[in-house]
């Protein structure tokens, strides 16, 4: 019962079998600052540090059910959202956020792997911008993701 009262971060994202990114890295980072995590897995990937070999998307209802179960079982202080993979998963995640508006959400949009493989299906950016971003208090894209989200040219440098 003590675990239920400790603050948690609900991590919503995909796996990375190499451990270089995704939920494995999120758990490690959040744990390093002394906070517990709970999970909703959006996709399973087979990847190395150099390439994404295979991606299996979770059913949207499974993602939503994992989120609801974690939110009901724990004192979730915030939700950290990473890889969402499909427009249908984005819509399902947004629906859960609307059910739990008191829990702030951070969106770290994962659009492609470091090796360049798309991790969000074509056309899903519109759903992310329309359905999910307005429900998040912070959005943390990197520069290439920012260009894709805004439909602008990639920045030539950080300025």
CATH number, domain containing residue 50: 3.40.1190.20
C-beta neighbour count of 113 within 10 angstroms = 20
Q: Is residue 129 part of a domain?
A: no
**Structurally, how many domains does the chain consist of?**
1
The per-residue b/e assignment along 8-23, b for 16 or more CB within 10 angstroms, e otherwise, is bbbbbbbbbebeebbb
Between 34 and 156, name the one with better pLDDT: 34
| Residue 90 CB-half CA count within 13 A | 27
Q: Which stretches of the chain are assigned E, i.e. beta strand? A: 7-14, 36-47, 52-57, 75-81, 105-107, 138-139
Per residue in 93-119, pLDDT (tens digit) is: 999 999 999 999 999 998 888 777 788
pLDDT score of 3: 59
pLDDT value of residue 1: 46
What is the rounded average pLDDT for all residues in the chain?
A: 91
Taking only the tens place, the pLDDT of each residue in 64-94 is: 999 999 999 999 999 999 999 999 999 999 9
| 22 belongs to a structural domain | yes
Residue 127 predicted with pLDDT over 50: yes
pTM of the model as a whole: 0.91
Q: Could you list the residue range(s) of the whole structural domain that residue 73 is in?
A: 2-123
- For 43, the 3-state DSSP assignment is strand
33 domain-assigned: yes
The answer to whether residue 156 is domain-embedded is no
Does 136 map to a domain? no
Name the more confident of 145 and 75. Answer: 75
Say if 143 falls within a structural domain: no
Q: How far is CA 37 from the centre of its chain?
A: 13
The verdict on residue 8 lying in a domain is: yes
Average pLDDT over residues 119-134: 93
| Residue 150 forms part of a structural domain | no
């Amino acid at each position: 019962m003590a675990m239920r009262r400790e603050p948690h971060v609900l991590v919503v994202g995909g796996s990375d079998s190499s451990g270089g990114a995704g939920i494995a890295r999120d758990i490690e980072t959040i744990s390093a600052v002394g906070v517990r995590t709970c999970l909703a897995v959006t996709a399973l990937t087979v990847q190395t540090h150099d390439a994404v070999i295979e991606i299996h998307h979770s059913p949207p209802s499974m993602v939503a059910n994992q989120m609801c179960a974690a939110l009901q079982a724990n004192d979730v202080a915030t939700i950290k959202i990473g890889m969402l993979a499909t427009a249908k998963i984005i819509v399902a995640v947004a629906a859960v956020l609307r059910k739990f508006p008191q829990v702030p959400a951070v969106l770290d949009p994962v659009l492609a792997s470091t090796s360049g493989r798309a991790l969000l299906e074509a056309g899903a950016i519109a759903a992310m911008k329309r359905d999910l971003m307005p429900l998040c208090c912070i959005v943390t894209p990197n520069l290439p993701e920012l260009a894709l989200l805004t439909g602008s040219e990639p920045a030539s440098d950080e300025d």
